[in-house]
Amino acid sequence: MARIFKFGDGISTDAIIPGRYNVTTDPVALGKACFIEARPDFATSVQPGDVIVGGRNFGCGSSREHAPMAIKAAGIQAVVARSFARIFYRNAINIGLPVIQCDAIYDAVADADPVSIDVHSGRIDVSGKMFQGETPGPVAVAIMEAGTLIDLIKTRGWAAIEEVS
């Protein structure tokens, strides 16, 4: 059963992957350094499919795409947060890391709670307590359906976004 890793407000990209660890483009190396100082046991304890629940302004700060890459490579299935910083949110969608905005879940769950999540519908089940994430925008949906932004643009070009705008 997937578990929750719970974080607070204002988790910055510096906390997710400090600057001196993003001197690589290798996702595996980035995954090993995920939260290396903010939560040193994170990368070694995440099991594939686990979920991060964050507070407000998750992913604030630098535009480094290494941050969602590190979270994804560490094995995290999705990040649920009360709110996301704009660039992190867009980066996560672009590389195929599901990000779900949901305010109600935050105070109702604890670290290590078992969780199941449907990243397409945004339904989150925590020990029978159900939460509904907010519906992503049309461009985010189009990218998620394609897998990544690169997949979307490569197969369909800008028309894919122009037709949902």
DSSP 8-state code for residue 20: G
Site for another protein in 125-164 (CB under 8 A): 137-139, 148-150, 153-154, 157-158, 161-162, 164
DSSP 8-state code for residue 9: S
Half-sphere exposure of 45 (CA within 13 A, CB side): 13
**Measured between alpha carbons, how far is 155 from 158 in angstroms, rounded to an integer?**
10
Closest approach, Cβ 10 to another protein, in A, equals 6
Asked if 54 and 76 count as a contact pair (C-beta separation under 8 A), the reply is: no
DSSP 8-state code for residue 12: B
Closest approach, Cβ 130 to another protein, in A, equals 27
Whose Cβ is closer to another protein: residue 2's or residue 42's? Answer: 42
Give the footprint of another protein on this chain (CB under 8 A). Answer: 10, 12, 14-15, 18-20, 22-25, 37-38, 56-57, 60-66, 68-69, 83, 85-87, 90-91, 94-95, 137-139, 148-150, 153-154, 157-158, 161-162, 164-165
